[in-house]
Chains A and B, each alone.
Chain A
């Protein structure tokens, strides 16, 4: 598969992280990050650059980063993959390191999985990075339709298979959804040939926010079931199959940004996520509003 011509002028990066296998807990490619790399390879071919901020001396991490490099095959040339490893300890803040480095990297389009599989896994990284860099950010992306020097056309995944076409200005951070095309196989040969370059001179700063946090093992919470009393099998099936998040939604269009913000704030107040008369601030809980 050859990358489209227009992408050649845009430098494309993918941020990757160490995944955690749901059964064995072993490190490996993170599923969404692998999809981001796949998307990047389809777009930029072997010109795609990978980056990770983490512990450069961790052997398991290196194996897992090599697994991403193992995806550099079938691209029309034999150029091996390259990954920049920004060295930092697990105590440090990846956002600081990545944003500083990305700002000087010439990157125009940065892809990453929507949510990491270990660490905080808060799905906040793309937002925080974009905030610092002053870039656009889009989440839930299923495909990239086209890219030119100044903008990109993307498809955003919505519940129940719906898609929304977005035009975004570059530079842009793209958080790739789990419905994006499946990643190609990671092959041993290209993985071995790819290079991991430890970037020197990265200023790291400790993740102060996290210090204050307490962590505890997750508890599986019971999920509220909507019991449908209908005697009709079809209704019961539909109720069971329906994605609850999609119900009661409302599509607003043709509003000015101020009106739209007004509507959103009203909604958040109604859901008791915002208290009256308080300046809205984005918090992690807010992103959970759709659950």
Chain B
């Protein structure tokens, strides 16, 4: 009986599953098309084993569980097709099939253990069922295959036991194969594999970085240091064609088809939810739910089938969508999109390499550019950027007021060029940040750096406009800044603002502006490395911690330089639990400080709790926005100091100064410093 039923079961499941899969493909193809490169399918195994596992392996136990379960299943299924489907009942194959089922069983046990009391981040519902289905499939397949190796052959001839076994296997196959095509939890394997192949950011994968496993290279070689952090390989937003018929994403079908495919790959593991600062602060955003809502929109229906945590303060089950219906507000409320700080923590954690921030900015673009419904303060900032080139609506000529007594050279007076163009950023208008800038100028002078500023020719980099979805204003600012840069000669741009650093360094190249841009932490570390700064290490022992800015760390992979600077000052850094690539956002990025969506707590307050847990009395920062957000936390609290301030305070003035200003000709000096 088994020998007739099993092949029917297996092939029927494969056929039905395939039909479902084709329908799924049709759902993805509703999105905007781009040229297909079928060859990319060949990349799946490599990208799966290498890149995806790199992320999964951050949770060791889960990684092992997944290897056993998924590996066991794939092998068991393939063998089952041969052995039970085509009836090639070879004992060796049977043995392998037993081994694979056993491995899967062990993995499934671990899955089930995690599911006894699932953590909040996990979804229940079908995902809870999947853990049982895995057991059913592995046990059923194991037992039903025992006769192949000659064990208990008589037992399964017929009768109740055989029916029971068939039922078990049928359950498993239904979940694993049919469910894969028809949108069950196993969909993630099918969609996930194709997502790896057709990912919109191929730079994220090792096959695009053949030299990524390199021996210790140049310490400050940008590529090398970046590659240690794969998350920052591709972080620039995609430029928007301003001549397109519709700007941004209004309906699910307005996404690129690769994005829809990516949403479908989500395994609802909730890692993104667990790290999202807005979710933790009780703001109505949950990146996992957002991705699931995109799936609902793509396939059509309501969110009532969602079995995980929702958006704080918004009931699950009340929203609905369809691929050709607007997303906001019937599927997702606008405030959900505006709560995002674009900190990229979710993208960093996502084992399926889903790009939440791209999706959020795409939808914001539509709201801002087509609907004109940017939150009030954000809209005011954009109007100011259009009228005055800075978000505060201030006189751009006052950009240098804070430096009236410093006699900072203007690049306009240096036609022969300078080594460093110091980019001030909009922090130049902020009294708190002016202290940082003064400290930075002091350091540059102490290090005999040949530098100059643009003064009132400097405009906002366009960061805030772009994150608020106003790509038009961003592109205008970018083009004007690039035109300004092209009039002057300099070797590199140095800035104390990670947002400018990211935008100029990473996003301007798409508009024809390619520059060497360095964050001041990197540059100061280089000065230390070259022995050009001397500091007195403080006698007072104080505990200090360092807060990684999102746009410096996760976006650009610079985790080392700030710590090197602190080490050079003789300070011991007590790391926060969430630091480095897992740093928690200060709450100030992505225009979130402007949209100011209400929640239960404030993100900077939560970050200050992280700081306090280290026992630090000072938190070193490296971003004007982080400074402002953290200083907004009520006292008493640890004090907030920019790296530049800490260094400037410790400087020992050297008498040599003025004479040997490094001329542009010597500026290659830096590049020759050995690691």
Contacts and interface: CB of A to CB of B under 8 A. Distances in A.
A70 interface: yes
Contacts of B395: 23-24
A185 B472 CA distance: 14
Contacts of B387: 21, 23-24, 26, 28
A23 B369 contact: no
Contacts of B370: 73, 187-190
Given A21-B387, A23-B387, A73-B372, A188 B394 contact: no
A71 interface: yes
A28 B388 CA distance: 11
Contacts of B497: none
A187 B371 contact: yes
Interface in A73-111: 73-74
A186 B396 contact: no
A interface majority secondary structure: loop
Interface-centre pick from A21, A26, A187 (highest chain B CB count, 10 A)? A187
A23 B388 contact: yes
Contacts of A190: 370, 372
Interface string B369-396: 1111110000100110011110001111
B642 interface: no
Interface in A13-35: 21, 23-24, 26, 28
A18 to B, nearest CB: 13
A188 B388 contact: no
B371 A73 contact: yes
Contacts of B394: 23
Contacts of A28: 383, 386-387
A73 B62 CA distance: 49
Given A185-B379, A188-B242, A188-B247, A23 B372 contact: no
Contacts of B371: 73-74, 187
Nearest to B367: A187
A184 interface: yes
A26 B369 CA distance: 21
Interface string A147-189: 0000000000000000000000000000000000000111111
Contact of A189 (B247, B382, B396): B247
A24 B369 contact: no
A21 B396 CA distance: 13
Contacts of A184: 372
B470 interface: yes
A189 B247 CA distance: 7
Given A23-B395, A24-B396, A188 B379 contact: no
B232 interface: no
Interface in B187-215: none
Contacts of B247: 188-189
A116 B246 CA distance: 34
A187 B388 contact: no
Interface-central residue, A21, A73, A74, A188, by most chain B CB under 10 Å: A188
B388 A71 contact: no
A71 to B, nearest CB: 7
A234 B73 CA distance: 82
Contacts of A189: 246-247, 369-370
B69 interface: no
B286 interface: no
Contacts of B382: 185
B434 interface: no
Nearest to A186: B372
Nearest to B372: A187
Contacts of A26: 386-388
Given A24-B387, A26-B387, A187 B393 contact: no
Given A73-B371, A73-B372, A74-B372, A23 B472 contact: no
A271 to B, nearest CB: 39
Nearest to A71: B372
A278 to B, nearest CB: 46
Interface in B350-384: 368-374, 379, 382-383
B328 to A, nearest CB: 12
A74 B379 CA distance: 15
Interface in B519-547: none
Most buried by B among A24, A70, A71, A74: A24
A24 B399 CA distance: 13
A23 B393 contact: yes
A188 B369 contact: yes
A190 B374 CA distance: 14
Contacts of B379: 185
A180 B394 CA distance: 25
Contacts of B389: 24
Interface string B454-481: 0000000000000000101000000000
Given A23-B394, A73-B372, A74-B373, A188 B386 contact: no
Interface in B151-173: none
A186 B383 CA distance: 9
Contacts of A185: 372-374, 379, 382-383
A28 B246 CA distance: 24
B92 to A, nearest CB: 65
Nearest to B382: A185
A74 B374 CA distance: 13
Contacts of A74: 371-373
Contacts of A70: 372
Give the interface centre of B368, B372, B396 by most chain A CB atoms within 10 Å: B372
A189 B470 CA distance: 10
B371 to A, nearest CB: 6
A187 B369 contact: yes
Contacts of B396: 24
5 contacts: A21-B387, A23-B394, A74-B372, A187-B371, A189-B246
Q: Report the 9 A-B pairs with minimum CB-CB distance, sorted nearest first.
A: A187-B372, A189-B370, A185-B372, A188-B472, A21-B387, A185-B379, A188-B369, A24-B388, A73-B372
Given A26-B388, A187-B370, 12 more contacts: A23-B394, A24-B388, A26-B386, A28-B383, A28-B387, A71-B372, A73-B371, A186-B383, A187-B368, A187-B372, A188-B369, A189-B247
Interface of A: 21, 23-24, 26, 28, 70-71, 73-74, 184-190
